[in-house]
Structure 1
Amino acid sequence: METVNRNFLLLLVLISLSCIVQCTHVSHDGRALIINGERRIIISGSIHYPRSTPEMWPDLIRKGKEGGLDAIETYVFWNGHEPLRREYNFEGNYDLIRFIKEIQNAGLYSILRIGPYACAEWNYGGLPAWLRKYPGMQFRTNNQQFKDEMATFTKLIVDMITKENLLATQGGPIILLQIENEYGNVMGPYGDAGKEYIKWAANFAVSLKAGVPWIMCQQDDAPQPMINTCNGFYCHEFTPNNPNSPKIWTENWTGWFKAWDKADPHRPAEDVAYAVARFFQRNGTTQNYYMYHGGTNFGRTTGGPYITTSYDYDAPLDEYGNLRQPKWGHLKDLHAVLKEMEKALVYGDYSNEDRGNGIEVTKYKLNTTTACFISNKDTAKDATVDLNGSKYFVPAWSVTLLPDCKTEAYNTAKVKAQTNIMAKKVNTVEEPSALRWSWRPEPLKKQVEDKHFSFQSNQLLEQITTTFDESDYLWYMTSFHQPHKKQLKLSVGTTGHVLYVFLNKRLVGKQYAPNGGFEFTFERNVTVRHGKNNLALLSATVGLKNYGSFYEQMPAGIAGKPVKLIDGNNTIDLSNSTWNYKVGLVGEKKKFHLDFRPFKWISFMLPVNRPFIWYKTTFQAPSGTDPVVIDMFGLGKGEAWVNGNSLGRYWPSYNNTAQGPCGNCDYRGKFSEDKTCRTGCGEPAQRWYHIPRSFLKSGEPNTLILFEEEGGSPRRIQFQTVTVGSVCATAEKGQNLTLSCPEGGSISKIDFASYGEVHGKCGAFQKGSCESQDAFNVVSQACVGKESCSISVSKETLGANNCGDIPFKLAIQATC
């Protein structure tokens, strides 16, 4: 017995020693997160696993690590994991455990925002629509049914990551967990029930005993031990609600999402860097980029209302996983300097001096170590600032970092990273004329004749609580009698998003809600016949509401709006007629997109510009490893599949409106998503759609199937690859200028090289009145034929330029 006890004690000691070696203890004080007893700066970036593919994950995570990230953050998407109650999906791009293990394999930490409400411009904010099946259910409030379902799913996730030893205390990468999300922004209308709900959520999180801190973002009244955190474009002025909570920025918005009705939003690299530097200047120690890689809203169930299939977000890694330069490189340089300053920032004494005119000088002192920031928040005036007897030029709306309070190591407005100009290359194997199309119509007869339906009601039903988001489409069908043939006005009120109207088997009109208004009235003059008339209304959604107080109560579909026939002063109200309903389309039910049955596809007389047509073709995968896109120009609206994998909704016929200034971007001043830095005004909202390489088969035909809802032509479709076309950079005297092409590529020619007075920017450099006569040849010899090159900016290297007192620099643009 004594031997057994000794062996048992020995086992406990071995387990304890193993944990000492492998496990990570995470705590915090009012200054920073504390990891294994050390205060740390944590720089994180959001990568959403369902918005990419498992094959993409290692490369995305690697590029995040190379860019200076310590952690990868993601939401958990409830409706993707539990599309039907108690039926779970953790496969493919929903394999959460695999994603976290990829983070662990890369040697990074993970921040897991379980929520399980996500927002995230995600369908229904990540909450499953089947919750609406239960009478009395209210989302995100002190509602027992909702709390029970939320608790069940949240516990499922915590149990899964615990079983796989993924928590930091088990030797895993997860250092923070989040419960709820941005509730403080919307909780006011919930009153006391909202306050009780947030207390319950905090207590429930603690009860799971995960062993790592829990956070609540945008929740000023977050109960202890929750850490309340900040989301936004700028968070340097944020203060946690408890002196023992560190200052954490959960979402630094690196750009903005794109909607079908808006031009492409961009946030300049200089402004993102400014916001980060200001945050760390003001005692911040943990921040996360939202997004670091935005990705793609694959499938019908992702993407909130009127959000495009692309979720590029102007992130440091673009939709396809390419480096977005200079943003990626400029932030990488900033991260390196912040890490150099880490000890002083998390342990040093802090002092801040406001010198007026927008100038702040901040000093951290730790024993003999110092670190300084000089910020200039003026949006127009540059400044020269005296510090310790030295003068520093600080441009408007910028921050200078001095790791030793003497040497300028970085300024947020002085971008040294190269700029990449991306290019789309046509796949010469599959020119549009080489594609052979077949087709088949969506079988509409059963719907428009009002003979085949699923159920009836004597009222117009709300769409979400009828379909539970099993399809974008809901048919409303009824009939009415008229004593004479005549022309009447048909009026249909709807909460959108799209409506198609059929009268007596004929499509008489369509309409969609402009600018995401989600409510409109369809009106057309129609000719009704003597006797029975059949009216069929097809309502379509384009993603569901994802944000706001009581957002689940926002209706979709015709939803009790009036359906009327107007004859002068007389009105026939059909709203309370007997309505027949059918969810979805025949092609959806029969899974035309999988093409696994011997469906009859027609290979002649290709119809174009006709709605409700299914198209099919085959193509060869473009060679190489560059990301693949399909140019959908010429199509209307619908959904696309490659080898059965959904690429998401397409809508290239929707030309966005001019939102904000296009083609003119100034990084100076507070960024606003609705008025600053947009491109593509008046162009198709989204023309190119990502086909991940893992969706493709090499050396054999790939199948593309389209459901064209609105009416368009597939004849102009092209398959293209996305790669770096040109690279360029500028540098001042005494610096080194480095250019590089993607791995495996090389610089084929120098398009522009000037050492002297240079105007313009990448893609549009112009020479000034003076320059070195030798610079172009020197750069060509040093760079052409090489994957990367570095040039020392000096007259010894590049030759004299005789510019005198004129400000000058080296500028290069090269083709990869």
Structure 2
Amino acid sequence: MNKFKLICLTGLLVGSVCTIRAQEKKGHSFKIENGHFQYDNKPLQIHAGEMHYARIPHQYWRHRLQMLKALGLNTVATYVFWNFHEPEEGKWNFEGDHDLATFIRTAQEEGLMVILRPGPYACAEWEFGGYPWWLQNVPNLEIRRDNPAFLAYTQKYLNRLGQEVGNLQISKGGPIVMVQAENEFGSYVSQRQDIPLEEHKSYNAKIKKQLEEAGFEVPLFTSDGTWLFEGGATAGALPAANGENNVESLKKAVDQYHGGQGPYMVAEFYPGWLSHWAEPFPKVAASKVAQQTETYLKDKVSFNFYMVHGGTNFGFTSGANYNKQHDIQPDLTSYDYDAPISEAGWATPKYDSIRNVMLKYVDYKVPAVPKPMPVIEIPSITLDKVVDVLGFAEQLGGNEDEQPLTFEQLGHPYGYVVYSRRFNQPINGKLSLKGLRDYACVYVDGEFVGELNRYFKHYDLEIDIPFNSTLQIVVENMGRINYGAEIVHNNKGIISPVTINDIPITGNWLSTPLPLSETIEPTKLLGLGQAIDNKQAQQNMPVLYEGSFELSEVGDTFLDMESWGKGIVFVNGRNIGRYWKLGPQQTLYIPGAFLKKGKNSLVIFEQLNQQPQKSVRTVKVPVLDKLALQ
């Protein structure tokens, strides 16, 4: 090849590469214009489904996104939980299950647009509505208000989020087409009428501005019930509705707050509903959901199924609600939500009903439904080691103070604290824990006395403490409130004086956090405690059970906890969540991604131990709707 031809060819190649790069950089466009969502300058109807990457093992993200696409949807929506990424102040985690950028890129690879809901408040039946627990320790900080200390932290969070995923906006070649500003703020305004409306609006506008300053340049939107737009809508963001089935009401509300024109979007269309411990598992009929889906499709209303796939509140991530009957309503470990795609990623009859409707209306190709993940059953796992938790706590020591210390004072985010106090003189009468947050088992010298329970508003019991005896109270944090005005009162443990016969018991309180967190090292943990013979495992004694099992093949499975009392389970050192005999959830989902060929470990913290156990099994079908209140 002569020199002239080589120069020409080189020039052509360079020009081609530059053209390709320019095209890649340009990508697609998304905007709100002339009352429509417009994708590449063409009107678009958003058919979205919500799933939260934080509730799904990262190994399963692609499968769940493919399930969403096969339902006939074109967009995935997800909350971003601040506390999932900043569990300790200044310590960020965007790896593995926390790798939001990979989730978003995977969605793009599957041909989906992405709607990001970064809060900073999320709700979502998630611990503290997504806020980090440690915010409660910051002086002069008031969450969800036009408060300088709080807004300084929200700006740090949003700036870091912008660094992680800002380059994945559609304007930069990524799939993110919209970002939500705050979340359901109108409902909070209605509940916090002690705060001037002007301050509420100032706060809401500042969160929107912080998102923009963090580099989010795609269209912003808010999300509220239509009757709450007055408090929740903010200038420059599209008001979208939650739970609005009436299309005319939707259009009227949006027009009022968005210049007299659309687009119209139901940001949360509920095909199922949230579920609490000790309450019936709510279900929504497939026919009703399919009919409402068709209504939206006919009227060109965009929508987002909340949830299309719920997933699981692994570890201590589940939040709580409350009402007049119950001071707290802890959310289940399962976030199945009666969604079209089940907790384990299976297509349900509801999924089939919706898909059939979608296929009648969409003008794009809908792929075949992916196969579910393999499912296995383990008939019996022998529990061959037992550790006494009260003795274990004594060896750990603790923090001594005049009063029991809260979880926050102890720097202990979640789980359990053992409170103990030695009595040099006998005392008996009514023990009261008005400041219990949230559940307690009470012992005297290791003997079970009774349980106290914030759910049932059971804060008192009769007690008899002999001379030179020790009172022990094992307190469980069952999840911080995630919705409503009470979200600002979320300290855990024992938050006010313990009394006996209305006399405050002060001095020499020992507060011992139990090292049971999101993950554990089973051998190291159990090595700290005193092993006891399983035959001698005293009834009503809180214990740690350990077992192991061998697998030649891995797959999803469900741990059957129906004969157990109350506690949490670790599989290969990973906290898979809480169980409670009251139901309605009686099984715990174990993803195959958490298992391995060969030897696997199992650790169970059983708080009640009313029926000492020797083994546990798994089943292939979950049980999420069986109440056992007696």
Q: TM-score, normalised by structure 2?
A: 0.84
1:542 to 478, 487, 491: 478
Q: Distance in 2 between matches of 1:51 and 1:496?
A: 25
Residue identity in the other structure for 1:474: V
Match in the other structure for 2:398: 453
Matched, 1:585 2:484: no
Give yes or no for the alignment of 1:175 onto 2:192.
no
1:18-57 equivalences under 5 Å are: 18-19=22-23, 23-29=27-33, 31-57=35-61
Deviation at 1:171, TM superposition (A): 1.4
Farther-moved stretch of structure 1 (102-111 vs 704-713): 704-713
Cα displacement (A) at 1:133 = 0.9
Q: In the alignment, which residue of structure 2 is the partner of 1:522? A: 460
CA distance in 2, matches of 1:225, 1:75: 21
Deviation at 1:15, TM superposition (A): 6.6
* Equivalent in 205, 209, 213 of residue 207 of structure 1: 213
Does the aligned pair in 1 maintain the 2:317–2:479 contact within 8 Å?
Answer: yes
Shift of 1:713: 3.6
Counterpart for residue 617 of structure 2: 718
1:211 and 1:330 map into 2 onto residues whose CA distance is 37
Please say if residues 19 and 170 of structure 1, whose CA atoms lie closer than 8 Å, have aligned partners that are also in contact.
no
Alignment-mate amino acid for residue 448 of structure 2: L
Change (3 A) 1:426 1:322: closer
Q: Residue 257 of structure 1 contacts residue 311 of structure 1 at CA under 8 Å; is this kept in 2?
A: yes
2:337 aligned residue (287, 290, 313): 313
Q: Identify which of 488, 491, 496 aligns with 2:429.
A: 488
In 1, Cα distance between the equivalents of 2:203 and 2:15? 43
Structure 2 match to 1:559: 495
Shift of 1:228: 1.2
| Change in 2 beyond 3 A, CA 1:321/1:594 | farther
Alpha-carbon shift at residue 184 of structure 1 (Å): 0.8
Provide the secondary structure at the position in 2 that maps to 1:264.
coil
1:259 and 2:276 are equivalent in the alignment: yes
Which structure is larger by alpha-carbon Rg, 1 or 2? 1
Query: In structure 2, do the counterparts of structure 1 residues 184 and 437 end up closer, same or farther at CA, with 3 Å as the change threshold?
Result: same
Q: For 2:306 and 2:518, how far apart are their aligned partners in 1? A: 37
Tell me what 1:166 maps to. Answer: 168
Matched-pair contact (CA < 8 Å) for 2:158–2:214: no
2:408 to 465, 470, 481: 465
- Over 3 Å counting, the alpha-carbon distance change for 1:235 and 1:154 in structure 2 is farther
Partners of 1:477 and 1:507 in 2: CA distance: 14
Establish whether residue 231 from structure 1 lines up as the match of residue 242 from structure 2: yes
Cα offset, 1:545, TM superposition: 0.5
- What are the superposed Cα offsets for residues 781-815 of structure 1, whole Å, 9 maximum, x if unpaired? xxxxxxxxxxxxxxxxxxxxxxxxxxxxxxxxxxx
- Distance apart, 1:579 and its partner CA: 4.6
In the superposition, relative to structure 1, how do residues 468 and 185 fare at CA in structure 2: closer, same or farther (>3 Å)? farther
Following the alignment from structure 1 to structure 2, what is the Cα–Cα distance between the partners of residues 324 and 146?
42
Change (3 A) 1:622 1:112: farther
Task: Call closer, same or farther: CA 1:640–1:436 in 2, change over 3 Å.
Answer: closer
* C-alpha separation in 2, matches of 1:17 and 1:487: 79
Distance 2:116 2:422 in 1: 52
Match of 1:332 in 2: 355
Contact 1:632 1:714 in 2 (8 A): no
Aligned AA (1:497):
D
Does the aligned pair in 2 maintain the 1:499–1:510 contact within 8 Å?
Answer: yes
Instruction: Give CA-to-partner distance per residue, 1:154-173, whole Å, 9 cap, x none.
Output: 111112113xx311111111
Q: Which runs of 4+ in 1 moved over 6 A?
A: 10-13, 587-590
Q: Does 1:616 align with 2:515?
A: no
Q: Which residue of 1 aligns with 2:202?
A: 196
8 Å contact kept, 2:168–2:174? yes
Distance 1:547 1:581, change over 3 A: farther
State the match for 1:351 in structure 2.
Answer: none
1:95 to 96, 99, 107: 99
User: Structure 1 residues 503 and 111 mapped into 2: Cα distance closer, same or farther (>3 Å)?
Assistant: same
For 1:528-567, what per-residue CA distance to the aligned partner results, in whole angstroms no more than 9, with x for missing partners? 32xx443333322211100112512255433225512x3x
Distance in 1, Cα, partners of 2:163 & 2:16 = 23
Q: 1:328 to 1:82 in 2, by over 3 A?
A: same
Matches within 5 A, 1:794-813: none
Which residue identity lines up with residue 384 of structure 2 in the other structure?
Answer: W
CA distance in structure 2 between the aligned counterparts of 1:235 and 1:289, rounded to whole angstroms: 16
Q: Residue in 1 aligned with 2:606?
A: 708
Counterpart contact for 1:177–1:215, Cα < 8 Å:
yes
Question: What per-residue deviation string (whole Å, max 9, x for no partner) do you get for residues 760-800 of structure 1?
Answer: xxxxxxxxxxxxxxxxxxxxxxxxxxxxxxxxxxxxxxxxx
Match of 1:145 in 2: 149
Q: Which moved more, 1:585-594 or 1:181-190?
A: 585-594
Aligned-pair CA distance for 1:474? 2.8
* RMSD over aligned Cα atoms: 3.3
1:122 is the counterpart of 2:146: no
Work out whether residues 231 and 249 of structure 1, in 8 Å CA contact, stay in contact via their aligned partners in 2. Answer: yes
Shift of 1:105: 1.2
1:682-715 superposed Cα distances (whole Å, 9 cap, x missing partner): xx321111111111112x1211111111214434
> C-alpha distance in 2, partners of 1:265/1:629?
20
Amino acid at match of 2:494: I
Contact 1:474–1:581 (CA<8 Å) still a contact in 2? no
2:299 is the alignment partner of 1:291: no
Q: 1:446 to 1:314 in 2, by over 3 A?
A: closer
1:355-394 to structure 2, matched below 5 A, reads none
Q: Is the 8 A contact 1:490 1:526 kept in 2?
A: no
TM-score, scaled to structure 1: 0.66
Alpha carbons 1:235, 1:249 under 8 Å: kept: no
Q: CA deviation at 1:486?
A: 6.8
Given residue 230 of structure 1, which amino acid in structure 2 is its aligned partner? A
User: 3-state SS of the aligned residue for 1:511?
Assistant: strand
Aligned residue for 1:404? none
The alignment partner of 1:546 has SS state of coil
1:478 is matched with 421
Structure 2 gap segments, 5+ residues each: 1-10, 321-328, 623-630
Contact 2:271/2:338 (CA < 8 Å) preserved in 1?
yes
1:287 match: secondary structure? strand
Cα displacement string for residues 106-125 of structure 1 (whole angstroms, at most 9, x for unaligned residues) = 11111111112110000000
1:441 alignment partner in structure 2:
388
Task: Identify which of structures 1 and 2 has the higher relative contact order when contacts are C-alpha pairs closer than 8 Å and 6+ apart.
Answer: 2
In percent, how many aligned pairs have the same letter?
25
Residue 217 of structure 1 is matched in structure 2 by: 223
Which whole-Å CA distance do the structure 2 matches of 1:715 and 1:234 have between them? 51
1:139 CA displacement: 0.5
Aligned partner of 2:182: which letter?
Answer: E
- From the superposition, tell whether residues 633 and 293 of structure 1 become closer, same or farther in structure 2 (CA, over 3 Å): same
Matches within 5 A, 1:422-433: 427=377, 430-432=378-380
Opposite residue 589 of structure 2, the aligned amino acid is: H
- Which one has the bigger strand percentage? 1
Q: Aligned with 1:473: secondary structure?
A: strand
Question: Corresponding residue for 2:453?
Answer: 512
Question: What is the number of equivalent residue pairs in this alignment?
Answer: 581
Deviation at 1:298, TM superposition (A): 0.6
Give the match's secondary structure for 1:56: helix
Secondary structure (helix, strand or coil) at the match of 2:149 reads: helix
Contact 1:230 1:250 in 2 (8 A): yes
Structure 2 CA distance, aligned partners of 1:536 and 1:602?
Answer: 20
